Amino acid sequence: MDPEATWNEMIDAIINREQEAAIQYAKSLLEWLGRGGFVPRVSLLNTTDDWQRYLCQRICKSVINAPADLWRSSSEK
Q: What is the pLDDT of residues 17-29, one digit of tens each?
A: 999 999 999 999 9
In a domain, 36, yes or no: yes
In a domain, 76, yes or no: no
CB contact burial 16-32 (16+ within 10 A = b; e otherwise): eebbeebbbbbebbbeb
pLDDT at 13: 97
In a domain, 77, yes or no: no
In a domain, 74, yes or no: no
Range of the domain at 42: 3-68
**What φ, ψ does residue 31 adopt, rounded to 5°?**
-65, -45
Residue 77 has pLDDT above 60, yes or no: no
pTM for this prediction? 0.90
Overall number of domains in the chain: 1
In a domain, 8, yes or no: yes
